[in-house]
């Protein structure tokens, strides 16, 4: 977990328990701590191998969030469902 100068959390890393495709270009990410994050932009989500996989979620512009899997590839825009 990384914090900015004001003490707000900028980046958090958590383990991905499982994923589920909903619709054509939307992936739900179920985290080990019970959080669920939904992909909000277009694009493929690629996870190679058997895992475990870790999501790095960071704060982006305009109150949005970006998720990157295992620190590789492009980040995808997400929102927290629960």
pLDDT of residue 8 exceeding 80: no
79 near 35, Cβ under 8 Å? no
What are the distances in angstroms from CA 27 to CA 7, 45, 51, 55? 30, 7, 17, 13
pLDDT of residue 57 exceeding 90: yes
Percent of the chain clearing pLDDT 90 (strictly above) = 60
The domain limits of the chain are 2-80
């Amino acid at each position: 977990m990384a914090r900015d100068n004001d003490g707000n959390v900028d980046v958090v890393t958590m383990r991905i328990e499982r994923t589920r495709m909903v619709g054509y270009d939307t992936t739900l990410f179920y985290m080990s701590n019970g959080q669920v994050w939904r992909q909000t932009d277009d694009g493929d989500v690629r996870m190679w191998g058997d895992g475990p996989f870790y999501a790095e979620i960071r704060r982006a512009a305009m109150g949005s969030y970006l998720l990157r899997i295992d620190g590789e590839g492009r980040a995808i825009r997400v929102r927290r469902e629960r």
